[in-house]
Amino acid sequence: MAVLDNVFRGPHSVAEYFNPESNPPLPLVEIPDRLNPFRKDNVRIYAKMLTCLPAQNVKSLPALHMLRMEPRAQSRKIAEASSGSTILSLGILARVLWGNEDVEAHVTNKKSVESLNLLRFFGIKPCLYGGLPQQEPTDPTGIMARLRRRAVAASNDMVYLGQYDNHNNWKAHAAWTGPQILRQLPEINVFSTTVGTGANLEFSDEGCIAGTGMYLKSQKPSTTILGVFNALGDPTPGPRYFDGFQSSAFPWQETIDSCVEVSSESAYRMSMRLSREGLICGPSSGEALHGLLQYLAELKRSERLTELVDKQTNEISCVFTCSDLPYQYISGYFERLEPDDFPPIENDVLLQCDQGRHDFRWILDGEQAVELLSAAPNRGSDDEHSPETPIEGHVQRSGLISGVSAYFGCWHGLLRMRKRCVIPRRLHPIHRHTQPNSPTLVLDLRNSNDYEELHIPGSLSAPLPGLFQGLGGGDLFGDAEAVHMLCTRMQKWLQGAQLSRILAEAVRDRRPVILLCYDGLASQLGSSDLRQKGIEAFTVRGGFQALWSRYQKQANA
């Protein structure tokens, strides 16, 4: 009986949240007509949204029932041969019911790091095994037999629930899933679900089809139970191929009326179509629907579709299961489907550049930049290098930033760093702090002509090839090609021998670096690159003109 207003309170609130008897029935949703090519034949197709269970997958029902029927699991290690929804549900529910955090997932060593990390995220310990990733429950050398022997030998320490031959698995669906569907849709004619699991070593949907099918048959014998299998050698995560299903101990053979096989491509594509229509589900769900449509198409070709018509409604009412969500299988969609099945990525050239971090704290306004320029030096005033010493004479080589310049075409600009800008006497204090041995290094990325015309005293001219006033139409980051061009040239620019030595000295002396460009945008790309190299780099909002205006105001004060 559902709790009032679906609100769960008290010390056992989460346990009640996971209790199917405390919740309203899971949604049964008719699919849109565009996904149902037989709607004109009076066929109605409904998705049973098992994804709306608290753990968001079909396995939480068997997991709950198996745990409830094994009281020893309350205080002992729980081990299961599973890499997906079953072990995730067991791990979550063991905590929810009893606070038991000692759960192990015995997983093939062929699993991806992402899959293993998902287990670890939920506090489940992955225990890897080698050899065949897909092993039969009856194989005496397989992982399931090994866990059975271990559970017997360590009977006081470990519980092995054994989802593959634990009859409380399928009985969960006989107790909950079947009754829900029949109560929601008493006119049901066809029930379709995938059978077993190959890729993830789980017979979850075997339990679903055995339990749900057995209940429906017991209450409405005319219901057709359709078992959907993987095509041999073409696995979809979740279902199993027919020949590999014969070892199952569950009562499936007397339950299933018809069987179909579905390719993984068809399963993934149908799952994607369902998800795009708002019925978000994984590939096994797409397989269940595609198998159902395949079955109906064959009946129509053989003029037997009318055999399924309900005499009271004059319709054919079908239900398929949506068992889990698509997110952990996303890479599989892009491996199996065509590029045209997905919208293209606009401005994908940006995936090749500007991948470093950006941070608003690295963007200074004019006042903040002037304060940084005027800060007390980090080094003593008795520095061994005179402000008049040419920069080539006192910058030391460093291994921090290496590379030989084959591209840096601005030597004349860098040599001009030795020259002093003639400025009014009132600017001398700031000029002094922006000399090469001052606490802040200022690199001017504008072209050399603009630098010669006007620049911050003591700043160094380091023209960035390709940069000019108004690049990107004044909106650099709105022009993907311009960003890519600048990033590409910036990588070569940063490898220049002169610039490398200058930046290496800044690191050695712990001097921050301010990058100046025309509008403060290109310099953001540079500061991101320099930060990745361990250099404390900043840029100025509004670029050179913003800093120059503040500089003049400070100098005239």
Of 326, 343, 360, the residue that ends a domain is 343
Q: Is 387 part of a structural domain of the chain?
A: no
Give the closest residue to 59 by CA, choosing from 202, 256, 270, 217: 202
Write out the residue range of the structural domain in which residue 436 sits: 348-375+428-556
Give the closest residue to 37 by CA, choosing from 246, 299, 393, 250: 299
Q: Is 484 part of a structural domain of the chain?
A: yes
Torsion of Cα atoms, 499 then 501 then 507 then 510, to 10°: -90
Give the domain CATH number at 489: 3.40.250.10
* Band (386; pLDDT cuts 50, 70, 90): very low
Q: Which helix (H) or strand (E) holds 458?
A: none
List, for residues 81-91, the tens digit of each pLDDT value.
998 889 999 99
* Band (133; pLDDT cuts 50, 70, 90): confident
Helix 85-98 to helix 60-68 angle, to the nearest 10 degrees? 50
Q: Which two tokens stand for residue 124?
A: 């489940």
- For every residue of 122-181, which 3-state class applies, written as one string? CCCEEEEECCCCCCCCCCCCCHHHHHHHHHHHCCCCEEECCCCCCCHHHHHHHHHHHHHH
Q: Which helix (H) or strand (E) holds 242?
A: none
At residue 169, the pLDDT reads 94
Q: Are residues 256 and 199 in the same domain?
A: yes
Taking the C-alpha atoms of residue 171 and residue 175, their distance in angstroms, rounded to an integer, is 6
Taking a C-beta distance cutoff of 8 angstroms, is the pair 504, 400 a contact? yes
Residue 100 contacts by C-beta under 8 Å, 6 or more apart in sequence? 73, 74, 75, 76, 78, 94
Distances (CA, A) of 215 to 59, 171, 218, 324: 18, 9, 5, 22
Distances (CA, A) of 443 to 23, 91, 415, 477: 65, 56, 13, 21
Residue 299 contacts by C-beta under 8 Å, 6 or more apart in sequence? 305, 307, 308
Q: Is 407 part of a structural domain of the chain?
A: no
For residue 465, is pLDDT > 50?
Answer: yes
CB atoms inside a 10 Å sphere around CB 404: 10
List, for residues 63-86, the tens digit of each pLDDT value.
999 999 999 999 999 999 998 889
Q: Are residues 435 and 473 in the same domain?
A: yes
Q: Is 58 part of a structural domain of the chain?
A: yes
List, for residues 257-283, the tens digit of each pLDDT value.
999 999 999 999 999 999 999 999 999
What is the pLDDT averaged over residues 364-371?
93
Of 322, 343, 364, the residue that ends a domain is 343
Q: Are residues 114 and 246 in the same domain?
A: yes
Q: Are residues 89 and 196 in the same domain?
A: yes
Question: 313: number of CA atoms within 13 Å, CB side?
Answer: 16
List, for residues 392-407, the tens digit of each pLDDT value.
322 322 322 332 232 2
What is the pLDDT averaged over residues 38-56?
97
Q: Are residues 91 and 223 in the same domain?
A: yes
At residue 377, the pLDDT reads 56
Of 301, 328, 343, the residue that ends a domain is 343
Q: Are residues 25 and 136 in the same domain?
A: yes
Taking a C-beta distance cutoff of 8 angstroms, is the pair 147, 87 a contact? no
What is the pLDDT averaged over residues 219-244?
77
Q: Is 490 part of a structural domain of the chain?
A: yes
Taking the C-alpha atoms of residue 550 and residue 426, their distance in angstroms, rounded to an integer, is 14
Q: Are residues 361 and 461 in the same domain?
A: yes
Q: Are residues 26 and 131 in the same domain?
A: yes
List, for residues 495-527, the tens digit of each pLDDT value.
999 999 999 999 999 999 999 999 999 999 999
Q: Is the pTM of this model over 0.85?
A: no
Structural domain count, the chain:
2
Taking a C-beta distance cutoff of 8 angstroms, is the pair 451, 463 a contact? yes
Q: Is 5 part of a structural domain of the chain?
A: no
The region of weakest confidence among 122-131, 221-230, 382-391 is 382-391
Taking a C-beta distance cutoff of 8 angstroms, is the pair 190, 223 a contact? yes
The region of weakest confidence among 102-116, 200-214, 372-386, 542-556 is 372-386
Taking the C-alpha atoms of residue 14 and residue 8, their distance in angstroms, rounded to an integer, is 7
**With pLDDT > 70 as the criterion, what percentage of the chain qualifies?**
83
For residue 341, is pLDDT > 80?
Answer: yes
Q: Are residues 238 and 276 in the same domain?
A: yes
Q: Are residues 208 and 282 in the same domain?
A: yes
Taking the C-alpha atoms of residue 173 and residue 66, their distance in angstroms, rounded to an integer, is 12
Q: Are residues 280 and 234 in the same domain?
A: yes
Give the domain CATH number at 233: 3.40.50.1100
Q: Are residues 148 and 240 in the same domain?
A: yes
At residue 376, the pLDDT reads 58
Q: Is 471 part of a structural domain of the chain?
A: yes
- Residue scoring higher pLDDT (186 or 382): 186
- Residue scoring higher pLDDT (341 or 254): 341
Q: Is 384 part of a structural domain of the chain?
A: no
